[in-house]
Amino acid sequence: LQDEETRKDYDYMLDHPEEYYRHYYHYYSRRLAPKVDVTIVILVTVCAISVFQFFSWWSSYNEAINYLASVPKYRIQATEIARQQGLLNKTKEKGKNRRSKEEIREEEEEIIKDIIKNKIDIKGGYQKPKIYDILLFQILLAPFYWCKYIVWYCWWIYRFTIKGQEYGVEQKLYIIRRYMKMSQSQFDSLEDHQKETFLERQLWIRENYEV
């Protein structure tokens, strides 16, 4: 009876003893209710989602690397870079260090993939995952992002609305992306020639975009 809510139920029971089943329900609903702190449940859930996100993104990134390693254009380029750096020669050692053809082939494959990872900038949904993009860090850094956005928005209003300066290429692409309702990663995954077409058609102007 130290709990205020339980005491209210007890007083109600004394005043309405005929509501037998209602009292039973309230008693067991309180007794069997989970005692875990809601904050802990939320924290564990956010952490679980964050871990799943990170490993899911790593899986997508590795799939993209494996695909690019199978594309002749990128594979030939990566193989040529590996030869110039002398990386492929190291895999063909003789004597006691000599390995099977299968081991050499696997090592050469890893070398080609590493070169593709370092030389090719993968964008969009298959880009290399960053720890700061997961849900946990997004929540922790939310105040910082909000302050950053407010400062940027005030700068935008002052520069382009008040002073009337012309948009640069970056600002034009930002407006086009907003019109297209695309996230930054989706827009980054577009080919450069597509973005050049957007600029040539002056799609940052609302009337041109709607046409």
What pLDDT score does 123 carry? 64
Cα 53 to the center of its chain, rounded Å: 7
Q: How far apart are CA 133 and CA 144, in angstroms?
A: 14
How confident is the prediction for the chain on average, in pLDDT? 84
**How many other CB atoms sit within 10 Å of the CB of residue 18?**
6
Q: How far apart are CA 50 and CA 137, in angstroms?
A: 9
Which position has the higher pLDDT, 189 or 70?
A: 70
Look up residue 43 and give its two tokens.
């924290």
Minimal CA–CA distance to 115: which of 84, 89, 137? 84
- Answer whether residue 63 shows pLDDT above 80: yes
Beta-carbon contacts of 186 under 8 Å, excluding residues fewer than 6 positions away, are 124, 125
Tell me the three state secondary structure of residue 33.
Answer: coil
Under the banding of pLDDT at 50, 70 and 90, the label for residue 210 is: very high
Q: How far apart are CA 76 and CA 133, in angstroms?
A: 33
- Answer whether residue 185 shows pLDDT above 80: no
What pLDDT score does 150 carry? 95
The DSSP result for 116-138, as a single string, is HHHH----GGGSPP-GGGSHHHH
Share of the chain above pLDDT 90, in %: 33
Predicted confidence (pLDDT) per residue in 47-60, tens digit: 999 999 999 988 88
Whether residue 111 contacts residue 82, with contact meaning beta carbons closer than 8 Å, is answered with yes
What pLDDT score does 211 carry? 92
- Answer whether residue 87 shows pLDDT above 80: no
Domain ranges of the chain: 1-33, 38-91+99-129, 166-210
Angle (deg, nearest 10), helices 169-180 and 192-200: 100
Q: How far apart are CA 176 and CA 191, in angstroms?
A: 15
* 179, containing H or E segment: helix 169-180
CA angle 174, 177, 181 (to 5 degrees): 140
Share of the chain above pLDDT 70, in %: 89
62 vs 70, 90, 99, 196, 207, CA distance in Å? 13, 25, 26, 29, 41
